[in-house]
Amino acid sequence: MEHATVGHMGDARRPATYEDLMAVPEHLVAEILDGELITSPRPASPHARASSGIGSVLFDRFDGSEAGPGAPGGWWILDEPELHLGADVLVPDLAGWRRERMPVMPLAPWFDLPPDWVCEVVSPSSGRLDRVRKMPKYAKAGIGHLWLVEPLGHTIEVYRLDGERWTVETVLPGDAISRVPPFDAVEIDPRRWWLDSDA
């Protein structure tokens, strides 16, 4: 998330509750990690552009019945879903569930079934939160694939879960048309994801 800030609601000595999270103003993204309430402003334009571009490409090609002609399908792709992973509440920029694991999209405000893939769009202010605090939570939950996308550096870091640890599968430059796991059934062109790109 862009410009992540950390704080507690109410008494800082007690763990944050879901009620604390619900009391956060709507213009902020709220998460709970290790009992701490973390709030982040909505993303700035480079972050929003990258996240929107990734979501659009993956939705069009992989999101089940909505996928275009000849597209692989087989996934649910969502922007900023609220994940309840044990006592933690995390909101990745994007997440995807294979439809073989989640055949029907639940009518619920959050998900307690961990996704198969998450994507965090990383800014200079959110890097520590995404890498140091959230990545281990995603690994502990058994999420198989993770992307860290840096819109200012035009890079895509692709991770695969190996046991309980992340393994770097590849680091891609943002101008490379590639097959990117777990969506490697088709080539993906990321050049239009970047705000300062002429592609």
Closest CA to 121 of 154, 97, 98, 88: 154
> At residue 64, what are phi and psi to the nearest 5 degrees?
50, -125
Residue 154: both structure tokens together? 């035009």
pLDDT of residue 16: 96
Task: Pick the more confident residue, 128 or 66.
Answer: 128
> At residue 195, what are phi and psi to the nearest 5 degrees?
-60, -35
Whether the Cβ atoms of residue 159 and residue 169 lie closer than 8 Å to each other: yes
pLDDT of residue 7: 47
Closest CA to 84 of 137, 8, 45: 137
CA 143 – CA 156 distance, rounded (Å): 18
Residue 159: both structure tokens together? 């991770």
Whether the Cβ atoms of residue 158 and residue 181 lie closer than 8 Å to each other: yes
CB atoms < 10 A from the CB of 78, how many? 18
Query: Looking at the predicted structure, is the pLDDT value of residue 35 above 90?
Result: yes
pLDDT digits (tens, 9 = 90+) for 143-176: 999 999 999 999 999 999 999 999 999 999 999 9
CA 199 – CA 192 distance, rounded (Å): 6
CA 123 – CA 39 distance, rounded (Å): 15
63, amino acid identity: D
**Given the structure tokens 């990545």, which residue do they identify?**
135
Kindly report the average pLDDT of the chain as a whole number.
90
178, amino acid identity: S
CA 178 – CA 162 distance, rounded (Å): 22
| Strand ordering across the sheet containing 5-6 | 5-6, 36-41, 28-33, 88-90, 83-85
pLDDT band at 123 (very low <50, low <70, confident <90, very high): confident
CA 91 – CA 93 distance, rounded (Å): 7
Q: Identify how many contiguous H helices and E strands the chain contains and give both numbers.
A: 4, 11
